[in-house]
Structure 1
Amino acid sequence: MKEVKQQTNSRPKQADFSPLVQEVITVAIQLWRLKIFCENAFPTVQDEGRWIGEVWRQACDKLQVEHTLDMNISRLITSQTSHTRGEVKTKHPKVIEKMRSHATKLKDGYNFVYKEPHKDVTKRKGLYRGKIIQKCVNAIWFANCRDEGVCFPDSFSPIPLPALALIFAAIENCIDEWITGIHTGLDFTATEYEVVYQDHLKSLYSFRDHSKHLNILGNICTKLYNTGRFHSGAQPLDNFRPPVISIDALNAVIDEYKADPMTETDGENGNISEDSA
């Protein structure tokens, strides 16, 4: 497949490629974003090396295109990592700014993830049911019926634990900007917040395993997805109508005709059978 000539000494751009390859790159970037959200927001070099081949192959298969993955395309896709993480922070509801006077209390023992925070850990209620969590889920992945949470239900139903950990790490970043009482911009970088993300992920896995006999976290994540989908205005999955008559239904019609070939002759002479009336 012929390419538009690329500038070898400049940063690769999607516009450098032919329209069809640009389309494949767009799909691959979409799939890459899902990896960041749902698998690991701070991927290792090994993760990226594995993912890039996966998303490119899936994108090519989806669009039925064969094209070699080169270094420039790889750079275009992997450069989306920090941008994707940054979106999680920028889409956070402004409620964090309103809580700036309580920043230290919010940080204490992950108080912000509770529905009813308290300085005494034994009196806190509603772990992982804080209102800010649903607000963030809605804003980041369910802003409208075309958002990623709606378009990729297999990835977001229920909300994956790495996605929650990313939300919590971004919330901490926002809280940290107000920790002194005066706003100080802090970049949401891997250097500073990968360990925060991993700590939240460990806590989530620990709670999931500790309460697995009740599936508490699973139910929370399912509710987050269902509420987010409702917020987006998208039709509930359970109420989706099949787009076409199913193959089974068509086969049943054929079997019916084979059993009674006279069916299609009813009414040929203007007569309507009793069954048709």
Structure 2
Amino acid sequence: MNTLTEKTNRQLLEDADEEYRQTHDGHGRPMIESEDEENEHPSLLFSSSIKTKRIIEPDASKTLRKQGTVRKPVRSSSPPHLNLVTGQWRDNQIVTSSPSAPPSSPSPVMHNSVDCSNATEEHSAVSFDHRSKRPRSNSPDNSAPSRSKRACTIMHGETGSNLRDYSGVAKSVIHKVLLRYENHIFTINAYPDEKTQSEIVRELWDEVSASVKQKFELTPALQSMIKKRGARCHGNIRDRIQPLIAPAYGFQVSDKKKIHQANKNLYVMLSTGGAFSFKTPGDRYRRFENKIIFQAICACWFKNQKTPGIKYSDDYDPIKPESVALIITVLENCIDEWASGKFAPKPLDEDVQWPRYLAHLADIRKWCKANPKVTGNILKQWHNGARSSTGVKAKQMATGYLNDEEEETRVMADLEGRTGETDSEDDDDDAENDATGDEE
């Protein structure tokens, strides 16, 4: 078998040489040097036993292609090839494309992702592309107006910017909120900031709506209308106090320069250190007891039986420091109208009035703490006197008759030594006293 193989190989070589000479003008075929090892078996096939003298090195530039990148042609050196039919050797460079990557199984990411095409409604409601909008929440949208709230009825042809534009129960609700908001300005905070105003309006609106057992929608137009009442309150107080200034302090209306100068001097004295609030401004005696303060309280809140001092009497009994501070603040503005010696109306600038109000409120609170009993009685008397000026009697306090220590001591003495178990204790005591008298 080995001998046959060797003969076959030699015959093939001879045939190849002859064919080569015929096609190459008698030139012989290039010599092939075997690099087989000595111990290599001679029976190896011819195609696998011969090698060229040239060394073919592996292409070091070949790297693994990343998934998703474009396949590039790879240039490599192919081993020389002997055509057994033509006897020609081909050792030229050939260009081959990199083998197509076998179809790989889906990556772990693909296995774990949600297939939107086959997803259920539940999955499709949750899974979404990060570039798309946020999915709609299943929770109710609280930003939308509640359907349970009714719109306030506006009369035909009106804009809804005034109370008279409304009708029915809605008008009554708005009117009550307006009155309570004004009373808040008078007794709690005369100059609230924008945020506080909105909170007050919302709270009052909910309270009044609950009282009529109907829910009405509080629109921005209504909020704006209610908030404007703050400036209106300040203007009304100024209009009530202005006529009191000249008689109370002695300002005179005249065209004479001498009178003008006297008015200027009076203004300087009153405006220095808040002297206008003292009972006697000249010697600064009894601060916050000037008679104009009580007059202003009566004019602003106790003009008649429908004014806030009567309608919301609990908020004015006694008069609150916040209310006194508002009166003092507007008083100061009215006195400033005489600064030139002649009366000249001065607008109420909130940027000026607000810090004045806070300063006066701090001083009044200090005054109240200096002697709570005395100042408390003064504030109480202001309320009682103002209430009486409207013709409404002072409220009767629901108190008993044991109002002092003497009465309490007397009651304790009457109860001492008694059991209270029988109704005849008094009769027995009287009989004993009579018997004792007879013996004497």
Normalising by the smaller structure, the TM-score range is: 0.7 to 0.9
Q: Where does residue 346 of structure 2 map in the other structure?
A: 186
Q: Where does residue 172 of structure 2 map in the other structure?
A: 23
> How much does 1:8 deviate?
11
- The alignment status of 1:234 with 2:383, answered yes or no, reads no
Distance 2:375 2:156 in 1: 50
Q: Where does residue 263 of structure 1 map in the other structure?
A: none
Equivalent positions of 1:80-229 (< 5 A) are 80-92=229-241, 94-98=243-247, 99-100=250-251, 101=263, 102-118=266-282, 123-212=283-372, 215-229=373-387
Change (3 A) 1:221 1:13: same
Change (3 A) 1:11 1:23: closer
> What TM-score, normalized by structure 1, do the two folds share?
0.78
Q: Where does residue 245 of structure 1 map in the other structure?
A: none
Runs of 4+ off more than 6 Å? 6-9
- Contact kept in structure 2, 1:128 and 1:220, CA below 8 Å: no
Change (3 A) 1:131 1:8: same
Distance 1:9 1:234 in 2: 39
Distance 2:366 2:294 in 1: 21
After superposing the two structures, state which structure 1 stretch, 58-67 or 26-35, moved more.
58-67
| Structure of larger gyration radius | 2
> What TM-score, normalized by structure 2, do the two folds share?
0.50
Distance 1:116 1:64 in 2: 53
Distance 1:189 1:74 in 2: 22
More helix by share: 1
- Contact kept in structure 2, 1:36 and 1:81, CA below 8 Å: yes
Q: 3-state SS of the aligned residue for 2:335?
A: helix
Equivalent pairs, count: 234
Distance 2:300 2:154 in 1: 36
After superposing the two structures, state which structure 1 stretch, 13-22 or 172-181, moved more.
13-22
- The alignment status of 1:43 with 2:183, answered yes or no, reads no
Q: 3-state SS of the aligned residue for 2:340?
A: coil
Change (3 A) 1:183 1:148: same
> How much does 1:210 deviate?
3.0
What CA deviation, in whole Å up to 9, does each residue of 1:164-197 have, x standing for no partner? Answer: 1111111111100001101221111202211111
Q: Where does residue 270 of structure 1 map in the other structure?
A: none
- Structure 1, unmatched stretches of 5+, are 241-277
Residue identity in the other structure for 1:226: N
- Contact kept in structure 2, 1:93 and 1:139, CA below 8 Å: no
> How much does 1:52 deviate?
0.8
Residue identity in the other structure for 2:199: R
> How much does 1:16 deviate?
3.6
Distance 1:160 1:21 in 2: 32
Residue identity in the other structure for 2:270: L
Q: Where does residue 64 of structure 1 map in the other structure?
A: 213
- Structure 2, unmatched stretches of 5+, are 1-149, 252-262, 399-440
> How much does 1:13 deviate?
2.5
- RMSD over aligned Cα atoms: 2.3
Distance 1:134 1:233 in 2: 17
Change (3 A) 1:88 1:2: closer
Q: Determine which structure has greater relative contact order: mean sequence separation of CA pairs < 8 Å that are 6+ residues apart, divided by chain length.
A: 1
Residue identity in the other structure for 1:232: T
What CA deviation, in whole Å up to 9, does each residue of 1:221-260 have, x standing for no partner? Answer: 11111110011111221189xxxxxxxxxxxxxxxxxxxx
What CA deviation, in whole Å up to 9, does each residue of 1:137-166 have, x standing for no partner? Answer: 010011112221011111111111111111
Work out the percentage of aligned pairs sharing the same amino acid: 22
